[in-house]
Amino acid sequence: LNFAKNRLNKFYNPKLFKAAPKRELTEAERIAVNTGGTPPPTEAPGGIAGTGISALVQVYEHRQSKKDAPAPPPETWGVYSKKGQETTGVIAMIDLLIRDLEKEMVEAETEEKNAQATYEQMMSDSASKRAADSKLLAEKGATKADTEADLQAHEEGKESAVKEHMAMMKYIQSLHAECDWLVQYYDVR
């Protein structure tokens, strides 16, 4: 856009036109050119298909017969005066486009910075959450191991208690059998 604006300034505002800087040859290149060598290549020209032509203009030669003198010019509205502000309309629109692009670029950079900060915050939060989750998982694993050890101890205790109970029941049964025998033969004795 700045290139187009500068080209428009070349014709409409010559005071604002900035000519392209001339390329200066180095000492070695000057010596090569002075001794009959070829100058170094220049940058490729811009324009339509790299020709340096910025607009396709066709020029026709106007031929009038030399017999007749030209007709007088038609009446106009007055003396010619140079237009002032009207030629800068396109340049003003280009300036507006440039300002809009700069605003959009600033907004995009700000959004990118905010998104990067949000991403970094999310990464730090997720890292702390992972650390907390792994700690909690280790604690739950330790609790499960303790519970399984307690269960194993209780199962072993249950087995011994059941064996003790069975022995006690056999003893009670043998006592009951003796008592029944004594009661049955009490009269006989």
Report whether 6 contacts 18 (CB < 8 A): yes
Residue with tokens 């500068």: 6
Distances (CA, A) of 151 to 144, 157, 159: 10, 10, 12
Residue with tokens 């915050």: 121
| Predicted confidence band of residue 38 (pLDDT cuts 50, 70, 90) | confident
Distances (CA, A) of 33 to 21, 29, 70, 178: 20, 6, 52, 139
Rounded Cα gap, residues 29 and 37, in angstroms: 9
Q: Using one digit for the tens of pLDDT, what is the confidence trace for 47-63?
A: 665 555 666 566 666 55
Q: Using one digit for the tens of pLDDT, what is the confidence trace for 141-176?
A: 999 999 999 999 999 899 889 999 999 999 999 999
Report whether 72 contacts 64 (CB < 8 A): no
Q: What is the pTM of this model?
A: 0.41
